[in-house]
Amino acid sequence: MRENKDDMGSLTMGSLTMGGVLMEEAQAAFLHTYDRSPVVLEKGEGVYLYDIEGKKYLDFGAGIAVFALGYHNEEYNHALKAQIDKLIHTSNLYYNVPAVQAAKKLKKVSGMDRVFFTNSGTEAVEGAIKAARKYAYRKDGCKDHEIIAMNRSFHGRSFGALSVTGTAKYREPFEPMIGYVKFADWNDFDSVLACVSDKTCAIILETIQGEGGFYPASPEFLGKIRALCEEKDILLILDEIQCGMGRCGAYFAWQRYGVKPDIMTAAKALGGGVPVGAFLMTEKAAAHSLGVGDHGTTYGGNPLACAAVEKMLDLFERNHIIEHVGRIAPYLEQRLEGLVKEHEGIVERRGLGLMQGLEFAAPVAPVIRKALEKGLILISAGTKVIRFVPPLVITREHVDEMLGILRECLAEEKV
């Protein structure tokens, strides 16, 4: 196919741009499980992304809350390049330096006692569920222990994680799920209490519901659940995969509530773009649950992924990322509240820190598509919520730029 430059300077292949050619090839090669936007992203710089034809996008999605430090951070990149030149993989049959250092630093910022590195958030949830079941099994030798999860929750798409995801449309095509899971209503302690039995081994919830619409737990709700767990020796599992790693103005969102879990999951921004997750446990939960041979992973905790975790934690501390979120988040909240007042089609703002959502009266897909056309990347949470999970290094100027584009989109879509 003949290559040439079109009037806009884009590389073309006959009548298609290079991006168009790649998208056609992707459609022919990939399993059709994603409804992708028609953009081929090529590189990033700071809080901006560029597609293969050179168009610039302000990114308020951060790869679904992953790229906390923005794109092309030189220190982060150099740390990974240096580790690649040393060692990428060993398996967990041996120790490696980055894993030990990353675990030590992760324990320090979380206040937890034991770490198990995984490849993803979903795998972290799987490990947390297994740990809770094993904890209960070691107490009484029974195999019918129950887990209480929340309606409208999202914990992942593997069978275990899906089984505690409280959104029926994700579960129903793949049922039966793993058994002995009950669902309670969010921020309704009486609903949780009604699910408790002498077989309850764990309560799992996101500290702030993400995919379900950006609903923070109320302090009273979380506090009562913590007290219930202590009273009945139930393990509290907090899913911090999206709301953790500084996004909510603390290393982990539960730290803002003062409610410590027995088991915690983390991923997304933990590795800053390198696939890595973890579940962390208190000493009590760890000592009485998983033992040798109970859980494992080939790639989890590999030197490359853990070098990313270690460098992320170093840069968070040195660049005072938590403090920066504490300064910029109120400004984003204020500007979003202004939009709510201006537009009858916006129901409310919800969220904490740099994890914000705007709920609309109608589906938000047209607004998100319009924003993409204008060089702004936004993502949804469900059909009627736009979520704002930008890199944590954004400034007021970036917030203003985003709001300017979004206002244009709302006017054109008559919201």
Q: What's the Cα-to-Cα distance from 361 to each of 262, 348, 368, rounded to whole Å? A: 38, 9, 15
Q: Does residue 27 belong to any structural domain of this protein?
A: no
**364 in the same domain as 308:** no
% of residues, the chain, pLDDT over 70? 96
Q: What's the Cα-to-Cα distance from 306 to each of 167, 245, 272, 322, rounded to whole Å? A: 32, 15, 11, 21
Q: Rounded CA gap, 253 and 269, in Å?
A: 13
Residues 127-179 have pLDDT tens digits of 999 999 999 999 999 999 999 999 999 999 999 999 999 999 999 999 999 99
**192 in the same domain as 325:** no
**324 in the same domain as 185:** no
**329 in the same domain as 310:** no
**Torsion over CA: 365, 385, 162, 249 (sign):** positive
**257 in the same domain as 110:** yes
Q: What is the mean pLDDT of the chain?
A: 95
- pLDDT value at position 1? 34
**396 in the same domain as 358:** yes
End position of a domain, from candidates 302, 318, 334:
318
Task: Give the residue-averaged pLDDT of 72-96.
Answer: 97
**405 in the same domain as 343:** yes
**101 in the same domain as 63:** no
We report the CATH number of the domain holding residue 357 as 3.90.1150.10
Q: Does residue 139 belong to any structural domain of this protein?
A: yes
- pLDDT value at position 17? 87
Helix (H) or strand (E) holding 51: strand 48-51
Closest CA to 65 of 353, 342, 339: 353
**230 in the same domain as 94:** yes
Strand partners, 236: 203
End position of a domain, from candidates 318, 339, 370:
318
Q: Does residue 133 belong to any structural domain of this protein?
A: yes
Sheet holding 355-360, edge to edge: 346-352, 355-360, 385-388, 379-380
- pLDDT value at position 16? 75
For residue 357, pLDDT beyond 70: yes
Task: Give the residue-averaged pLDDT of 98-112.
Answer: 98
- Residue 211 sits at φ, ψ, to 5 deg, of -60, -25
Q: Does residue 356 belong to any structural domain of this protein?
A: yes
- pLDDT value at position 15? 59
We report the CATH number of the domain holding residue 139 as 3.40.640.10
Give me the numbers of helices (H) and strands (E) for the chain, helices first please: 15, 20
Q: Does residue 5 belong to any structural domain of this protein?
A: no
Q: Rounded CA gap, 332 and 248, in Å?
A: 12
**309 in the same domain as 212:** yes
**244 in the same domain as 97:** yes
**380 in the same domain as 332:** yes
Q: Does residue 145 belong to any structural domain of this protein?
A: yes
> In residues, how long is the chain?
415
Number of domains in the chain: 2
Residues 373-403 have pLDDT tens digits of 999 999 999 999 999 999 999 999 999 999 9
Residues 205-261 have pLDDT tens digits of 999 999 999 999 999 999 999 999 999 999 999 999 999 999 999 999 999 999 999
- pLDDT value at position 59? 98
Residues 1-41 have pLDDT tens digits of 334 444 434 444 455 788 899 999 999 999 999 999 999 99
End position of a domain, from candidates 288, 318, 348:
318
Domain encompassing residue 381: 37-69+320-412
- pLDDT value at position 185? 98
Q: Does residue 237 belong to any structural domain of this protein?
A: yes
Q: Does residue 10 belong to any structural domain of this protein?
A: no
